[in-house]
Structure formats: C-alpha cells, structure tokens
Structure 1
Amino acid sequence: MLDQFFSQISFVDIFNFCVFITFTICYTYQLYYVLVVLSRKPKQLVAKKNHRYAVVVSARNESAVIGDLIHSIKVQNYPTELIDVFVIADNCTDNTADVAREAGAIVFKRFNTEQVGKGYALDYGFKIIRSQYADRGYEAYFVFDADNVLDVNYFREMNKTFDNGAKASTSYRNSKNYDSNWISAGYAVWFLREAKFLNQARLTLNTSGAVSGTGFFIAADIIEKNDGWRWHLLTEDIEFSANSILEGIRIAYTPTAVLYDEQPVTFRDSWNQRFRWAKGFYQVFWHYGARLAKGVFTNPKGSRFACYDMLMTIAPGMLLTIVSVVFNAIIIVLAATGAMSTGVMIASSISSIFFCLFNYVMFMFLFGVLTTFVEWDSIHAPTRKKVLYMFTFPFFMLTYVPIALVALVKKCQWKPIKHSISVDVEEFSEAQQGIAAQK
C-alpha cells in the first residue's frame, strides 16, 4: 500500500511540497505576531525631558503639499523652539523652496542629476546641517516625506521613546486618502498591517522594528558615526534597517505617534513605486542577506531573532510563488505539446497553480479583514468603502506578482509620484483624540 502511494508521487509533487514547506517554515512566526498584538498591549512610556530635534525633508516638486506638513509640525503639542525644520528642495522645477520657506522651514536647494534619489538628498542635507547648524545641539533627526501630515501629539509621543533610550524609532503610519480608490486603500491597509501586526509585535517582544520610508527618527550620534546618511540603495529605509540590526541597534516603534501619508491613486504611479521597492528589496537582499543569515547564529543573543526577522522581510518570498506558478505552467505547456504525457503530472500542476494563487489571495484577504476590523476607527473612510476595500485588497497585493517578476530583469530609474491632496491636520487630530479616548 505504501509502495503504491510513493509510486504515484511525481517530481512535480515533490517540488510543490518543498515550496509549501519552505513558506510555512519561514513565515509562520508572523502568525504568532498576530496573537501577541491581540493579547498584549505595549508598555506605556513617560518622558522626563523634552529634547531638541531637527526635521529633515527631501522634497521634489512638492509645492502642493509641503506647506501642510510644515504647518502640522508648527502646531505640535511640543515646544516649537525645540524643533527646526529643514527642507532639501531636490532638483525642483516648481516653487517648492518658496512655499517651504514661507511656511517656516530652512531650505537648501540641491541640483544633482547624477546622484538621484532620497538617500543622496538626505545625505546632502545632513552635511549642511552638521556643518552650519552644529551649535544648535540637535539630539536626533526626524525624517518625513513632503506629503505627510502629523497628529498634533506626534513629537510628544516620539519624545517619550527617545527619552527612554531608543536610538531610532518608526511610528504609526496611517493614510490621508484611504477612500480615494482601491489602490490607495490597498497601500493604506498594507501599512496599517505593517504598523500593527509587525512593528507593534516587535515592540512588545522587545526585538527590532523596521523603518518604512517615512516617519522615523535617528539619534544624532548615529548620523555622526556614519558621517551623514550613507544608505543609497533604491530602498534606503530598508537598507538602514538591515544595517542597524547587523550593528546591534534596535529600531523602536511608537504606536501612539500617528503620521498620515498620501498614497498613489493611479495604477501607473503605483506600478512605478512598487517596482522601485521590489528592485530595492532585491538590492538590499543582495548586499545584506548573507550577513543577516550569518547574524542569526553569530550576533549577540539579543539581536539574533531580529536578524532572522529582517532576513525574512527582505528575502524575495514572492519569488517562491512566481517560481511555483512558472514551473507548473511549463509542465502544462510541455504536456500540451506532447513532450510529456503524464496525466497525473498535468492534473498536479493545474491544481498546484490554483492552490498557490488561491492560498495567496485568501491569506491576504484574511489579513486585510483582520487589519480593517482591528483598526476600524483609525481608518478615515465611509463604512461601505471599508467593507469594499477588504475585498479588493488581496487583488491589489496580487499585482505584486508581475511587479516582482519584472523587477528581476528590468533596470529601475527613480520616478517622482505626484502628490496633491491637502488635508486639515486639526480635523484628523480631533478624530484621533476621540479614538484614543475610547481606548
């Protein structure tokens, strides 16, 4: 009986089983993260001192939104004399510099068509700040994107984290245009899931979080040690996170510091942005993957799991899905052309493709539903759209499959994403205060 069973197993079955086991072994721990978040609350911090900060913003043709960000910084429930705002107007062809200056920022104009990207612009800004404003004694630097706006308590809450010894911390990333369409909602749910079910779990378990593009601070001594911002890959935020974890620096998370981010609303912009992210993740994996794998066994005990967690974050897990689908599609094509004639293999390949894609869609649907319900009050959208976008979220995530595939073979050039949505930060803050009161 057993011999008959094994005689029916083909190399196709073995391959698909190995892919499934690899996925299960590598990522099951993230289900434990969900249980941690649902069963335990993060520790509340208290600050003994207000610290002095510099805000650094890289902006390219952001005149429509840069004023909102600066205004949201100026109205913080935190001593305004302890926050200076610096804007790097990077290769701008509009009046971003003038708008930022009128809003109260110190502006540096940068024109460099050779070194293109946020990482280079940040490094340019840090070098000027450290050389011309060193006497102001900044203790940490905040990094935002020009389209962000901040809850009025953002700096007060982040100051608690810094005052308690954190060298870097990211924050709660919400969306200011969740209800624009299924694309912006897809981004929003993904970042809410990242904040709640990844970084908050990491915070609770006292391991390291990861910086995600915007809304984070870095202690001044880290910038001094690295002589500025030396992370210049396409996803400089993930590169910084991987490098920090390897050096034993824990990236904290501040769930009570709320930032609102503008998401793309066209599929073209979304494709360009996520293509750059996919390419950037490949770059980080290529540069840091081996060192992180080694760090799982050789780093100090307190950071070994963080190395594993970051390795799984940058590992091209999507490629396993792509490889599985392509492999089984090839088997079907070979069978159709007569090169193979095993009906069992054909049936196995067809069922494997369906199983792979169906499982991916269902997994993303469940995560979208869970995130939406847990963060329901924090999402600024009508009920009908919250419900609708739970169903569109897995298909938004499914579009990552061709993006990840194209990113393997195509070169990437940085392309700007147009931002134009202006919001009333006071209105958002009042809503956030109501949510906090309910909790």
Structure 2
Amino acid sequence: MEHIFHIITVAFSVFIMACFFYQGIYVVIGLLFKPKKFEASKQHRYAVLISARNESTVIAHLIHSIKTQTYPGELVDVFVVADNCTDNTAEISREAGAIVYERFNKSLVGKGYALHYLLELIDKDYGISNYDGYFVFDADNVLEKDYIEQMNKVFDNGYRIVTSYRNSKNFGSNWISSGYALWFLREAKFVNNARMLLGVSCAVSGTGFLIHSDIIKENNGWNYYLLTEDIQFSVDNILKGEKIGYCGDAIFYDEQPVTFKDSWNQRLRWSRGFYQVFFRYGKQLAERAFFKFDFSCYDMFITLVPGIGLSIISGILGGISLLSGVLNYRIILMLISKALLSSLSSIYLTFFLLGLITLITEWKRICCKPGKKVFYLFTFPIFMFTYIPISFVALFHNPQWKPILHSVSITTQEIHEL
C-alpha cells in the first residue's frame, strides 16, 4: 500500500512540475534579460476612469497624482463614477479637478457595472473616439509622476492593452499587506515582464492598465461583470487574439488589506471569480492551448487552474481518509501525514525562494524599513498557504462584491520617504 501511495504522489508531483516548469523559465528570463524599452512618436489623448465607492479619504491623492504628471495635462481628462456613495466622494473628486458622475444602483453592484455606466455617459457627452485610450484605476491608487509618459511609449508602439508595475503603499503594515505586495511585485517582475520579453501576452491584474478606444467600441463599452472582471477581460481579449503589453517603468501604488477578515473576503471573491472565468472560458483556452499550440492561452489556462487543483487534491485526500474505515487507518493516516508534510515543506520553500528573489531584485522599489522587508520574507509563504482553505471554501460559497475601506491617505513622495 505504501509503495503504491508513493508512486502516485511522485507521479502527481512530476506532473505538476511539468505543467508549471515554464514559470521557472520566466524567473530566469526576468533575472538575465533587461526589460524592453520603447520610444513614442506621438502623445496620445487619454481619459482616466475611476470607479469609487465611499473613497473620500484617498481619492484626492490619486487625482492629484494624475494632474501633476510629466505628460501634458491638456491631453488627459479624469472621470470618476461615484458608485452608490454615502459620503462626499463626488464633491472631493470635483474639487480635485475630475469630471464626476454619480450612480445609484443597488441591484447591479460591482466595479464592472460602474465602468460600463461611466463609459456610456462619456460616449454620450464626449464620444468614445474623443480619446485614443482609457486608463483604469482604483481610488486608492497613486502614480509616479512619469506614469502616463511611460505607458504612452508602449501604447504608441502598437499595444492596444497595456498593464503596468504594481507596487504597494503599505508593504510594511503587517504580514498580510506585505504578502499581497510581494506577490504583486513578483507578478510584475517575473511574470508580465518575462511574457513581454518572450513576445507573448501579459495579463491585467486588478487596476493600473490602459485600453485602446477601439477595443471599447468593439465591445460596446465594458462588459465584464464576473467577480474577477480583470481576469475575465484578459482572457476574453487573449482569446480574441489580442496581445496585452507591459510597461515596467510605469509605476503605481495601491493599498493592501491589513486585517485577515478583509483579506479573506477579498481573496474568497477572487478565488470564486477564478472559478467563474475557468468554467466560462476554460474549454476555449484548452482548445487553443493544446490543439492550436497558443502559448498565451496555455499560460492563462495554467493561471486559472491552481485554485481548482487545490480543491481537487483536498477532495482526494478526503476520499483517502474515508478509506481508513476499510483499510488500516493507521497506515493511511501515516501516509497522508507524510505526503502533506512533504508537500507543505516543498511549497514553503518554493514561495520562500520566489519571495527572496523578488525581494533582492526589487529591494530599492519596496518602500519599507529594511528589517521589515527581511522579516516579512519568512511570513510570505504562510500568507500564500492561506489560499488553500480560501480556494476550497470558494467552491461552495458565492460571495458578493463588497468594498474594502481604504485609509492610507499618502502621496508618492511620502511613500518614498518610508
């Protein structure tokens, strides 16, 4: 029995390693090769879209960081949709220089619906084609002064969707905020950057991206309403043949949750959203990946799989546990314990190494005291472990979109001073 269990465990580990081997190549490429550099021959006209719900504490800093860009201000208009707000977000946004629309709809709740509403009004009042491209930000974001200038370089070179470098306002708050931040830094440096170097499609992650107006028109606005509308947007456009670009020199900062409750609720929504995207688009991705050898589709397919895979593994282990009533339960429990201990040790080491490499390469960009940077490296794998129960619960629970209170009201200059 032990011999058979060992063979199954090894075979499964080899299969997983084979599926994810290419992501190890991503890390090597990110370490050895310099990012692509672009120059722009034209300064395009842009609109900035911000969906905000009770964000009066932070939104003024975002608008200010947009208004003080090195890019010509007359080529950038800021639009805010104050979505079901009960505070003075709309008033503060207007005072900061944004064009503001207010939306009150308790039935269609979520960022996707708010963006669709905002684009409809922009099309009505200004015309979608009045702008070459549309930036999308969350209200808690703030931008480096040359953000739009850098994004314009990639956009001007033919990329109709461009994502950027996601940094954190509050890396040093605690092990939760640092866990998010380190993962997003790794995603920027060793995933999207490597994809860009290889000439395959990148993926949008939440906020901080740019869309060509032609795509807005082709889609009749914004029509992505799943719990992870960013991943849905990425997958849908990749399936349509779009190649999403990445600009590592365009840096923005966002605020990460600091309580486990907020983090649990947010990642539960993300995990459920990944399931939604997988079940809607998984078949198409698999067909394009394995029959048409489309690597970008394979990459997105593998990106969507881990949460489902963890749940399946949990189910298998549960099934094996049930067998303990028929077979020798001591042997079964011993084998399961050994397999779990080995797996958890390997996973901890893998995430620790990913965190270490990211910490070393992005050290100067992480705004936090050195001691905290090192300390939170050791808690990073623990943060990632918490995805296991979240992924499993998300199979049976369908969470609704809920806003997370943002309270870190800080400028880019103050972030650097950290």
1:307 aligned partner:
297
User: Which of 383, 402, 406 matches 2:370?
Assistant: 383
Which residue does 1:62 correspond to in 2?
55
Partner Cα distance (2:320, 2:269) in 1: 32
Q: 1:437 is matched with which residue?
A: none
Q: Give 3-state SS (helix, strand or coil) of 1:275's partner.
A: helix
Q: CA deviation at 1:18?
A: 3.6
In structure 2, the residue matched to 1:324 is 313
Q: CA deviation at 1:342?
A: 7.1
1:182, distance to aligned residue in structure 2 (A): 0.7
Instruction: Report if aligned partners of 2:310, 2:391 keep a CA contact under 8 Å in 1.
Output: no
**Structure-2 residue corresponding to 1:174:** 167
1:352 aligns with 2:346: no
Judge conservation of contact 1:321–1:356 (CA < 8 Å) in 2: no
Give the structure 1 partner of residue 14 of structure 2.
21
- Partner residue of 2:361 out of 355, 374, 399: 374
1:394 and 2:384 correspond: no
Please report how far the alpha carbon of residue 359 of structure 1 lies from its aligned counterpart in structure 2 after TM superposition. Answer: 1.3
1:43 aligns with 2:14: no
Say whether the 8 Å CA contact 2:41–2:156 is kept in structure 1: yes
Q: Is the 8 A contact 1:328 1:352 kept in 2?
A: no
* 2-structure distance, mates of 1:354, 1:430: 42
1:422 aligns with 2:416: no
Q: Distance in 2 between matches of 1:227 and 1:8?
A: 58
Larger Rg: 1
Gaps spanning 5+ residues in structure 1: where?
1-6, 432-439
Give the match for residue 3 of structure 1.
none
Distance in 2 of aligned mates of 1:429 and 1:106: 29
Picking from 79, 94, 98, the partner of 1:86 is: 79
Match of 1:435 in 2: none
Q: CA separation of 1:73/1:430 partners in 2, compared to 1, >3 Å: closer, same or farther?
A: farther
- The range that moved more, 55-64 or 347-356, is 347-356
Q: Amino acid of the residue matched to residue 48 of structure 2? A: V
Q: Give the secondary structure class of the aligned counterpart of 2:199.
A: coil
Q: 2:129, 2:213 within 8 Å by CA — same for their partners in 1?
A: no
Does residue 408 in structure 1 map to residue 395 in structure 2?
yes
**1:16–1:324 contact (8 Å) kept in structure 2:** no
Which residue type is aligned with residue 153 of structure 2?
K
- 1:60–1:89 Cα contact (<8 Å) kept: yes
- Seen in structure 2, the aligned counterparts of structure 1 residues 284 and 374 have a Cα distance that, compared at 3 Å, is same
Are the equivalent residues in 1 in contact too, given 2:290–2:298 (CA < 8 A)?
no
1:430: how far off? Answer: 8.7
Number of equivalenced pairs:
418
Is the contact between residue 151 and residue 428 of structure 1 (CA under 8 Å) also seen in structure 2? no
Question: What's the counterpart of residue 180 of structure 2?
Answer: 187
By how many angstroms is 1:421 displaced? 0.6
Q: Map of 1:7-406 to 2, 5 A cutoff?
A: 9-10=3-4, 12-134=5-127, 137-297=130-290, 299=292, 304-315=294-305, 317-325=306-314, 327-328=316-317, 331-332=320-321, 334-335=323-324, 338-341=325-328, 345-406=332-393
CA distance in 2: counterparts of 1:323 and 1:294, whole angstroms: 22
Residues 152 and 429 of structure 1: CA distance in aligned 2, closer, same or farther (over 3 Å): farther
Tell me, in whole angstroms, the C-alpha distance in 2 between the residues paired with 1:430 and 1:350: 47
Counterpart Cα distance in 2 of 1:171 and 1:383: 25
Contact 2:83 2:102 in 1 (8 A): yes
1:329–1:349 contact (8 Å) kept in structure 2: no
**SS of corresponding position for 2:3:** coil
Cα deviation, 1:204-250, whole Å, max 9, x if unaligned, reads 00100000000000000000001000111110000010011100000
Alignment check: 8 A CA contact 2:271 2:307 kept: no
Work out the CA distance in 2 between the residues paired with 1:25 and 1:136: 45
In structure 2, C-alpha distance between the alignment counterparts of 1:246 and 1:376, rounded to whole Å: 36
Partners of 2:134 and 2:2 lie apart in 1 by 62
Give unmatched runs, 5+ long, in structure 2. none
Distance 1:361 1:318 in 2: 17
The Cα RMSD (Å) is 1.8
Q: CA deviation digits over 1:356-386, x for unaligned, max 9?
A: 1221111111111111111000000011100
Shift of 1:423: 1.2
TM-score by length of 2: 0.96
Q: Which amino acid aligns with 2:373?
A: K
The residue identity in structure 2 corresponding to 1:314 is L
Relative to structure 1, is the Cα distance of residues 215 and 307 closer, same or farther in structure 2, using a 3 angstrom cutoff?
Answer: same
- Measure, in 1, the Cα distance between the counterparts of 2:395 and 2:229: 19
Q: 1:236 to 1:210 in 2, by over 3 A?
A: same
Name the CA shift for 1:376/1:90 in 2 (closer, same or farther; >3 Å).
Answer: same
On the 8 A contact 1:152/1:429 being kept in 2, the answer is: no
Code of the aligned partner of 1:377: K
Whole-angstrom distance in 2 between the partners of 1:429 and 1:138? 32
Is the Cα–Cα contact under 8 Å of residues 144 and 250 in structure 2 kept in the other structure?
yes
Q: CA deviation at 1:427?
A: 4.4
| Secondary structure, counterpart of 2:395 in structure 1 | helix
**How many angstroms does 1:333 deviate by?**
6.1
Offset, 1:298: 5.2
Counterpart code for 1:387: V
